[in-house]
């Protein structure tokens, strides 16, 4: 979400990349139970996955900083508690996903400083559960959709989260935001879309 209220959707295909390499490793593990060749192949594709994701994160960070240069700042979720709270449990996959996001954040912060773009870290508490229009608690209204029974606001939960983070960041920067005159309905917003491409094949 940009300061002027515009929404941007950046398509990265990260999930497809991770899934592709996961499937590749599973095939290797089933075909080769033990041995040097098995270890070498797993290391090979593990390194390729890391390199491809690193390339993706840098390209994504470049696009975010490029957009932010027009507005002067970037707001990111404060995920620093992950460093101290990570544990091997049923939540491990989600935590590893957040670790990846933490790495992306560090790249964004580094590139933003090079361009003179300020970065603020926002506490993400309640950003995906409270209405950004009136502050009431949101309720599920279909797959990934949240709705406010008080004012009628309705949007995808990612839109809700980014909108509330934007509002918190603007408040931290001392910028007043006028309230919306009309509640937004699902489908009432059309994000600008960008796609990040990484030229790489999994096979081979």
68-90: pLDDT as tens digits = 998 778 999 887 765 455 454 44
Neighbouring C-alpha atoms within 13 Å toward the C-beta of 3: 17
Looking up tokens 């840098």 gives: 58
pTM for the whole structure: 0.76
What pLDDT is attached to residue 159? Answer: 86
Helix (H) or strand (E) holding 155: strand 154-156
Q: Domain for residue 3, yes or no?
A: no
Report which DSSP code applies to 181: S
Q: Domain for residue 181, yes or no?
A: yes
Name the pLDDT band for 188 (thresholds 50, 70, 90): low
Q: What is the SS3 assignment for 68?
A: helix
Q: What is the SS3 assignment for 156?
A: strand
What pLDDT is attached to residue 109? Answer: 95
7-32: pLDDT as tens digits = 777 888 888 999 999 999 999 999 99
Q: Domain for residue 79, yes or no?
A: no
Number of domains in the chain: 1
By residue range, what is the domain housing residue 146?
A: 124-188
Q: State how far Cα 181 lies from the chain centre.
A: 29
Q: Domain for residue 26, yes or no?
A: no
Name the pLDDT band for 181 (thresholds 50, 70, 90): very low
Candidate from 20-24, 31-35, 96-100, 190-194 with smallest mean pLDDT? 96-100
Name the pLDDT band for 199 (thresholds 50, 70, 90): low
Helix (H) or strand (E) holding 44: helix 36-68
Q: Domain for residue 48, yes or no?
A: no
Q: Domain for residue 128, yes or no?
A: yes
DSSP 86-152: --SSTTHHHHHHHHHHHHHHHHHHHHHHHTT-EEEEE--TTTTTB-TTT-PBPEE-STTEEE-TTT-
- Within 8 A by CB and 6+ apart from 136, the residues are 130, 148, 149, 150, 151
Q: Domain for residue 39, yes or no?
A: no
Name the pLDDT band for 45 (thresholds 50, 70, 90): very high
What pLDDT is attached to residue 90? Answer: 46
């Amino acid at each position: 979400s940009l300061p002027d209220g515009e929404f941007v959707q950046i398509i990265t295909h990260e999930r497809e990349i991770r899934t592709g390499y996961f499937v590749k490793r599973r095939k290797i593990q089933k075909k080769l139970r033990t041995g040097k060749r098995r270890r070498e192949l797993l290391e090979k594709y593990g390194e390729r996955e890391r390199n491809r994701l690193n390339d993706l994160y840098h390209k994504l960070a470049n696009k975010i900083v490029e957009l932010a240069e027009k507005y002067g700042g970037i707001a990111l979720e404060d995920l620093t508690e992950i460093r101290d709270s990570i544990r091997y449990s049923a939540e491990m996959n989600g935590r590893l996903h957040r670790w990846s996001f933490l790495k992306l954040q560090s790249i964004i912060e580094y590139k933003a400083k090079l361009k003179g773009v300020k970065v603020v870290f926002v506490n993400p508490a309640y950003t995906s559960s409270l209405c950004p229009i009136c502050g009431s608690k949101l309720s599920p209204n279909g797959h990934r959709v949240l709705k406010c029974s008080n004012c009628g606001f309705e949007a995808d939960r990612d839109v809700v989260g980014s909108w509330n983070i934007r509002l918190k960041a603007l408040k931290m920067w001392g910028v007043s935001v006028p309230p919306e005159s009309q509640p937004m309905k699902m489908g009432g917003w059309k994000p600008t879309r960008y796609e990040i491409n990484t030229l790489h094949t999994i096979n081979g």
